[in-house]
Amino acid sequence: MVLSVIVAEIAARHYFYPIRFYNNFTYIPTIYDPLLGYLPEPDWHGLMQNLDYSVNVSIGSDGLRATSNVLKNENNSESAIFFGDSFIFGDGLNDEQTIPSQVSLALSGEGKNIKCLNAGVLGWSPAQALLYYQRLSQKNKFDKVIYGICLENDIADNSAFLSGRFQLSKDTIVWLNKNASPPTNAEDISIVKKLLRSSRLYVVFASYLRRFAPMLRSKIEKSGAVNNTFKEQQNNVSKFFRTSQDSETEKSWEKLQDVLKIWKQETELEKRELILVPFSSAWMIDDNLFSKLTAQWPEGKYDRTYVLNRVKEIAEKENIRVIDPSSMIRKEHFYIFDGHLKPDGAKIAARFIADNL
């Protein structure tokens, strides 16, 4: 019996990806970075799961997520690097389904030879993306730089883990939380659980149980809980539009403009094109429903496109080109629980980006 378990454990370690457990969902592991706060752990391959999906994630030795590039001649190819948070990284998408991968595929279909790189990191703010660009641009050649901005978190600067807060110092972004301890989103678990989770056999067994999540989700939908979840998301997103117009959030708007101004100046000096691509979970909500959600507020009604239009105004002021896929995205293109793009939504957005790149 013991020998059988040992053989099964060895087989599991040989044939299956590792899976890391964090809180109630499975997210990718990170490493501490004194400037950026955290980065994806290099050379990691595993599953990212929750009630909406179970997807494969591959992080290369360079710390970037794997991209399925289709190139006729890599030596003569141009390059486009994508920065951003979960929308660019591809929360809920397999490696080949992410927006950078799909843009590369679409461009190859047009006969264009452009290599796409995915420098998106879950939960990052605009300042972190700029700092990461500054680091990568020192040793890499990029022709186009695409920043996928999340219109909720990135404006409020409400990034996960140790994103910290940033300030300008002599036209340089400075992270104010450099001395913080390494980030961890791992839950506090018992010694028994730690021992179990060190076993690949246990992890594989647990992951296959989690693959029944769609069945569980079906039961949840029948119970009506999914409607409550969606309503909660609708309210959270719509309330953001209220706070995005108050005096406190004005500082976040100023910070965003500072970041984009520096980014534009640097890309111009390096003869690279900076392109802004907005994404928003608010696209899950149609105009009529948004009006109903905001009508209860005593201050008056709010425009669902307010944040998008203001981002465009800042981009225009800084002479940054915007590729806006919002007209192509619908409610059905989003995961209900997760609020990110499904594979078909990412494909549509990527096709639009490729057509306008």
Which residues are within 8 A (CB) of 185 and not within 5 positions of it... i.e. 6 or more apart? 22, 23, 27, 30, 160, 161
CA end-to-end span of the chain: 59
Higher pLDDT, 64 or 33: 64
pLDDT in tens, 153-203: 777 654 333 344 444 444 444 444 444 333 344 444 455 555 555 565 555
Residue 61 in this model has a pLDDT that exceeds 50: yes
Long-range contacts, stretch 182-186, CB < 8 angstroms, 24+ apart: 182/31, 182/32, 182/38, 183/30, 183/32, 183/37, 183/38, 185/22, 185/23, 185/27, 185/30, 185/160, 185/161, 186/20, 186/21, 186/22, 186/23
- What's the rounded Cα separation, in Å, for the pair 341 and 98? 10
Residue 259 in this model has a pLDDT that exceeds 50: yes
pLDDT in tens, 72-127: 556 667 889 999 988 999 999 999 999 999 999 999 878 788 889 999 988 788 88
- What's the rounded Cα separation, in Å, for the pair 125 and 166? 10
Q: What is the mean pLDDT of residues 275-282?
A: 90
In degrees, to the nearest 5, what angle opens at C-alpha 312 toward C-alphas 309 and 317? 130
Distance from the Cα of residue 52 to its chain's centroid: 16
Query: Looking at residue 70, what is its pLDDT?
Result: 66
Query: Looking at residue 51, what is its pLDDT?
Result: 66
Residue 250 in this model has a pLDDT that exceeds 90: no
According to DSSP, residue 56 is labeled: E
What are the boundaries of each domain within the chain?
2-356
Higher pLDDT, 348 or 172: 348
Residue 24 in this model has a pLDDT that exceeds 50: no
**CATH fold of 2-356, please?**
Rossmann fold (3.40.50)
What confidence category does residue 307 fall into, taking pLDDT thresholds of 50, 70 and 90? confident
Query: Looking at residue 170, what is its pLDDT?
Result: 42
Mean pLDDT for the chain overall: 74
Which residues are within 8 A (CB) of 267 and not within 5 positions of it... i.e. 6 or more apart? 145, 273, 274
In degrees, to the nearest 5, what angle opens at C-alpha 121 toward C-alphas 120 and 122? 125
Higher pLDDT, 100 or 288: 100
Element (H, E) at 117: strand 114-120
Cβ distance 40 to 28 under 8 Å? yes
Residue spans of alpha helices (H) in the chain: 2-15, 86-89, 99-109, 126-137, 153-156, 191-197, 200-210, 213-223, 225-243, 247-269, 287-295, 306-317, 343-356
Cβ distance 64 to 80 under 8 Å? no
Query: Looking at residue 19, what is its pLDDT?
Result: 46
Which phi-psi region, left, alpha or beta, contains residue 157 (left: φ > 0; alpha: ψ -120 to 50)? Answer: left
- Phi first, then psi, for residue 71 (nearest 5°) are -125, 140
Nearest one of 37, 232, 230 to 123, comparing CA atoms: 37
What confidence category does residue 46 fall into, taking pLDDT thresholds of 50, 70 and 90? confident
Amino acid sitting at position 45: H
Amino acid sitting at position 265: Q
- What's the rounded Cα separation, in Å, for the pair 160 and 20? 18
Query: Looking at residue 124, what is its pLDDT?
Result: 81
Residue 332 in this model has a pLDDT that exceeds 80: yes
Higher pLDDT, 86 or 52: 86
Query: Looking at residue 281, what is its pLDDT?
Result: 80
